[in-house]
Amino acid sequence: MIFTALGLNKTDEERQKLAMELQKNNSYYLKRFKEGVDQVSSVSLMDTNKVITYVNDSFCKTTQYSREEHVGNTLELLDSGHHQEQFFIQMWETIESGEIWVGEIKNKAKDGSFYWVFTAIIPFKNDKDKITEYMSISQDITERKEAEELKMDYVKKLEYKNKELEQFAYVASHDLQEPLRTVINYTDLLTKRRAEHFDELGLKSLQFIQEATVRMSQLIKSLLDYNRIDNDNNLTLVDCNELINGIEIELSKEIKDTETTIIVEKLPSINGYESTLRMLFQNLITNAIKFRKEGIKPLITISAIRDGIGWEFSVKDNGIGISSEHKEKIFVIFQQLHNKNKYEGSGIGLSHCRKIVDLHGGKIWVESKLNEGSIFKFTIRTKGHE
């Protein structure tokens, strides 16, 4: 019996020693944890009446109030007036139900300046499941919020400017088209009904006027189309093979007249803006037909491969190609590399293409050598769309 008692006493001593070591370790880790939290966060404790009983140095530094000014007061001391009363009612309803509340609060410092904090308020309970106190842990996010507000301000200004530009483009194009139509009609009338009153130079001059007026009308229409690209906000699942089939039907006469062959490999269905995607493919196909080599039938191959962020499409042709110094210039609005008499167009088609690809979060480029054909490549992002 004596031996047993000694054994039990030894076990008790070991348990006491272990408990003391655990308590010592816990105290050490809790102290280190508190030191770490104090370095990066503002901390306060409140009793069940929401009266502050403790604040750390970081809390005082952020609010600019002393510890003595905080203790015995409430968080209402920091009320900025930014949040409605219902905001705080719902916040405390969550906390008093035993849940941790997390959110962003705009506060007012002692000097009258405003600051934002990302805050978690934690209710602590005793063994009877009754709340005994609250802890608030906050981090200053003022710089981030100010950056967000500045960004939103810029966005609003840009939206306003874009609306102004859209209205200007529409009014300008509409108002400019009317006098151009008048010029076209009158020069056409003069050519048909008063041709005998003009010599060869006069008739040639009328022809130049008509051609220039028609070209101006086309430029204005192209500019209006360019401006309208962003207006397509109907995101749908687009079958690219069906899209190309529709374009081939629309261009059937041009394809037949030029004896063009179009090879379409298996293309994906993607989430995108259908009308603009149609314009994108149609512009690239039309260009491939237009800029063909003399005496050689156009051959166009359209394909797509999966990449890390979506799909990479290719439109390959056997046309006249593009020199290296012009690979970026061709995407600039109203830029034309070739003689207008030989290759008709407004010089805005590839600008359309770049804007459409930008709208889909991708990029467009060309791989080409002069007289060796071109491969126009572009990416369409699917992340966030599909």
Residue 82 has pLDDT above 90, yes or no: yes
Query: Cα 376 to the chain's mean position, in Å?
Result: 24
Q: pLDDT tens digits for 340-381?
A: 555 555 567 788 899 899 988 899 999 988 888 999 999 998
Q: pLDDT tens digits for 174-206?
A: 677 778 888 888 888 888 877 777 788 888 888
User: How far is it, in rounded angstroms, from Cα 329 to Cα 350?
Assistant: 10
Q: pLDDT tens digits for 309-341?
A: 789 999 999 999 888 877 878 888 656 655 555
User: How far is it, in rounded angstroms, from Cα 145 to Cα 121?
Assistant: 20
Q: How far is CA 99 from CA 49, 316, 361, in A?
A: 17, 61, 41
Please give the DSSP secondary-structure letter assigned to residue 341. Answer: T
Lowest mean pLDDT among 169-173, 286-290, 372-376: 169-173
Question: Exposed, middle or buried by CB within 10 Å (0-12, 13-18, 19+), for 2?
Answer: exposed
Q: Which pLDDT value is given to residue 168?
A: 73
Q: Which pLDDT value is given to residue 245?
A: 94
Q: Which pLDDT value is given to residue 337?
A: 58
Percent above pLDDT 90 for the chain: 46
User: How far is it, in rounded angstroms, from Cα 32 to Cα 248?
Assistant: 72
Q: How far is CA 135 from CA 85, 109, 115, 131, 183, in A?
A: 21, 20, 20, 11, 79
User: How far is it, in rounded angstroms, from Cα 373 to Cα 89?
Assistant: 69
- Taking residue 281's Cβ as centre, other Cβ atoms within 10 Å add up to 21
Q: pLDDT tens digits for 206-232?
A: 888 887 887 777 777 766 776 666 666
Contact 331, 343 (CB under 8 A): no
Residue 1 has pLDDT above 70, yes or no: no
Q: How far is CA 142 from CA 38, 105, 108, 127, in A?
A: 18, 10, 12, 38
Residue 37 has pLDDT above 50, yes or no: yes
Cβ neighbours for 66, distance < 8 A, ≥ 6 positions apart: 60
